[in-house]
Every structure is written in structure tokens, then in C-alpha cells.
Amino acid sequence: MWHKVNLFMAWFFIPQTLAMGWVAAAGRVVLELLGATTHEGDIPGRIVGALLLFGAVYLVQYLRGSLPPEGKPGGNGFRFGQRLVLAGNLLSGLFIVFQLSYPLIESRDVWRVLDGFTNAFGYWAMAFWVAGFSFLYQSSLPEK
């Protein structure tokens, strides 16, 4: 069961990490359509955008029944692929948490160091997802 949650979170974190500005802009549009005044990069717009994205990923999973790559739990590389995807999810989660909480950091120097690290987390997360999805796909192939 946890492997399905892991893939669901990966499919949520991938667009959230790669298109964070667009997701936040979509959230801002929804808030402004509802009558709230927002500014670009505000936390409420990011949160509403993330909720919209979460709903979209859930809808795809509900209509399709699962999210690719499904993999075969007994297949070669399944566990390793799931671990790589989990590592990507954790790094992306840290990146997103920083993006939501950076206004709370008062020191400009601390902010610059954390910004550099979390941006690197986003790039590493993408590499982990690519490798993890590759192993998951490999696990579903018939053994020769």
C-alpha cells in the first residue's frame, strides 16, 4: 500500500517542483476570482495552487485506477525504485516547505544559504524520480 502513496506523492511533487510558479499563479487566479486580493508569490496562492494540483492528481488516479509506472512488487528493482522515488519525494518536500516558509527567515545570509541548498534539492529530486521510475518500469517487464 505504501508504494501507491509514494507514487501518488511523486506525481504531486513533480509538477509542484517543476512548475511551482505556475501552480502558485493558478492558486492566485482562483483566490482573485473569489474576491481576495493577493500578490505574486504570496503563501495563500501557493497553498491554493497546491490544493488544486493535489485534486487534479487525485482525479487522474481515481479515473485511471492507478498512476504510472505501476511496477510489479515482486519484480527486479521494484524496492530500489521505490526507495529512489521516496528520496526524491523527501527532497522535494523539503524544497516546498522552504518555499512556503522563507518569509519567516530574518537573516539574509541564512536565507541565501538555505535557498542554495533547497534549489539543489529540487534538481536532485528530479534525478531520483527519473532513476526510480526507470527501475519501477523495469520491474514490470517480464524476466528473461
> What ranges do the domains of the chain cover?
2-140
Q: Which pLDDT score, from 0 to 100, does residue 18 have?
A: 93
Q: What are phi and psi of 34, to 5 degrees?
A: -85, -5
Give the whole-angstrom CA distance, residue 56 versus residue 131: 24
Query: Three-state DSSP class for 21?
Result: helix
> pLDDT (tens digit, 9 = 90+) per residue, 63-91?
998 888 888 888 889 999 999 999 999 99
How far is Cα 16 from Cα 35, in angstroms, rounded to an integer? 25
| Mean pLDDT (whole number) for 99-104 | 87
pTM exceeds 0.85: yes
Residue 78 to residue 86: CA distance in whole angstroms: 12
**Residue 35: pLDDT band by 50, 70, 90 thresholds?**
very high
| pLDDT (0 to 100) of residue 66 | 87
